[in-house]
Amino acid sequence: MPEEMFLTSVVGSFPRPRWLVEAFDRFNKGEISKEELDEYLDDAVKLTVKEEELVNLDVITDGEQRRTSFVSFVAQKIPGFKLVYVTDINPQAMEVMRQHKAQLTYWRAVAVDRIRDSIIALDEFQFTRSVTTKRIKVTLPSPYLIMWETWDQRYSKDVYPRPEDLAEDYVKVLRQEITRLRDAGADFIQLDEPMLGDLVEADPDKPDRYRKVIELIHGQKYRGFKNELTLARDLINETIKGIGGVRIGMHMDRWPNPDSPYYGVGYERLAPEVIDIKVKQYVLEYSSPASGDPAKFAQLLPQDKELGLGVINVRNKEIEDPQQVIKRVELVEKILDPGRIWLNPDCGFSPGMYRKFERRIAFAKLRSMTEAAKILRQKYLGRA
């Protein structure tokens, strides 16, 4: 079916309206109630859904409008996590991030007690389902990401002596939430895994800059390149083992500096372990030359797996025209069937509450992407 070729989606977040950010600030100051904030949040989701429908995306999200960041929000949803400001964890944290050119979220979700099963995103999905008939993607932090982001030497060690102990508990929590989302009718569940993507920048005995920063702030130790890869693979596979009836994908991104020795090296550096992860789709950023050649990764994919190809740059304000997008798709079009190629931005437009990105530009970028998908479908049908 032509409508199932070159499907379009988003990675997760969409820029929040200015009035929503202001409402969060007013709520934190005690100037508005939780009920008033919830009304702002509902309106922001409705607005985002409408804009995604207007650009004719095939699979939408709620724009992560309710989340303060793509990972720290778990402290507001899962008992056992607590939000702690980064300089309360380590007074030198800002200098550490500056020195290593690696930005972390300032409010950190930290494991302070044993975590317990709780709703993570089902409530978000149910509201989105109530305001659209489009297919819906739900994003969730992966266990490997949570392990690296939330275990702290001082706050977590008494309850979780090893970071891996925390990851194993989170796997159990995540499995239950994925099952709930599947049963509720979610179309696509995406596990966010930037920490795995960042391993492209690591060496056998030397961590990438993000792990180095986390080591210095939180005290977790790098296990070595192959051990990290194996651990990430095993945690994700354990999470999704035996869960059918829903498309599950994994998003990897990376933010290499131009001085990185791996600038321009792609995710194929993580093979074969990353190919052994049992997800249906790999959602990868590729609009920047820093991320390498998508054809190299596409050639490794088994026949039953899909590539969510990043074709829109979320780090600049240049609005790609449809032909630019098509040129990026052509890099993998000869390798993968069009039903296995999805188009999406490289990453979320606004993975944190305070990351500024103009909504009108994000809207225009998505419109170019969906126009490109339409042209590609027509071209393919004309060739067939």
> What digits encode the pLDDT tens for the residues 161-193?
999 999 999 999 999 999 999 999 999 999 999
Which residues, at least 6 apart from 308, have a Cβ–Cβ distance to it below 8 Å?
9, 11, 249, 251, 281, 282, 283, 284, 342, 343, 344
Rounded to a whole number of angstroms, the distance between the first and last alpha carbons of the chain is 12
Task: At 231, list the tokens.
Answer: 């651990």
pTM of the model: 0.96
- Is 242 buried (19+), middle (13-18) or exposed (0-12) by CB count in 10 A? exposed
Domain ranges of the chain: 2-66+113-383
Structure tokens belonging to residue 128 = 């989105």
For 217, the token pair is 């702030």
One CATH from 3.90.1300.10, 3.30.559.10, 3.30.70.920, 3.20.20.210 for 2-66+113-383: 3.20.20.210
Amino acid at 140: L
Cβ distance 87 to 94 under 8 Å? yes
| Those residues with Cβ within 8 angstroms of residue 203's Cβ, 6 or more apart along the chain or in another chain | 225
DSSP string, 284-298: E--SSGGG--HHHHH
| Pairwise CA distance, residues 342 & 9, whole Å | 7
Residues 209-216, mean pLDDT to the nearest whole number: 96
Mind listing the pLDDT tens digit for each residue in 66-120? Answer: 999 999 999 999 999 999 999 999 999 999 999 999 989 999 999 999 999 999 9
For the stretch 30-78, pLDDT in tens is 999 999 999 999 999 999 999 999 999 999 999 999 999 999 999 999 9
Which of these, 19, 11, 27, 69, lies nearest to 354 by C-alpha position?
Answer: 69
355 SS3 class: coil
Name the nearest CA neighbour of 110 among 143, 169, 171, 156.
156
